[in-house]
């Protein structure tokens, strides 16, 4: 079974890399860029009997390691 986890900064948390990318794009002449948001996407392949079990396992992974709950949020999609 596959799971997709999308991790992003919480609203209001500064992402210096996204800010730098936005500045660089504007410097290159892309003046219409008003903001950049960066996300991490992880695809996990799991041995799980059903989607509920897979989601619960991935939730625990996110809480333990994959996301920092203080500054990040995440979304889990079970793909099959």
C-alpha to C-alpha distances, 79 to 21, 28, 30, 63, 71, nearest whole angstrom: 31, 38, 36, 20, 26
How high is the pLDDT of residue 44? 98
**CATH number of 2-78: 3.20.20.140, 3.30.1280.10, 3.40.50.300, 3.20.20.120?**
3.30.1280.10
Identify whether the C-beta of residue 42 lies closer than 8 Å to the C-beta of residue 5: yes
pLDDT digits (tens, 9 = 90+) for 13-60: 999 999 999 999 999 999 999 999 999 999 999 998 999 999 999 999
Domain ranges of the chain: 2-78
Does the pTM of the predicted model rise above 0.85? Answer: yes
**Helices H / strands E in the chain, number of each:** 2, 3
Is residue 25 within a helix (H) or strand (E), and if so which, with residue range?
A: helix 16-27
How high is the pLDDT of residue 80? 79
How high is the pLDDT of residue 60? 98
pLDDT digits (tens, 9 = 90+) for 60-70: 999 999 999 99
How high is the pLDDT of residue 46? 96
């Amino acid at each position: 079974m596959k799971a997709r986890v999308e991790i992003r900064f919480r609203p209001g948390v500064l992402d210096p890399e996204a800010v730098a990318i936005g500045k660089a794009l504007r410097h290159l002449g892309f003046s219409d860029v008003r903001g950049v948001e960066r996300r991490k996407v992880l695809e996990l392949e799991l041995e799980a009997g059903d989607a509920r079990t897979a989601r619960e396992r991935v939730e625990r992974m996110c809480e333990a390691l994959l996301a920092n709950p203080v500054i990040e949020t995440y979304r889990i999609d079970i793909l099959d």
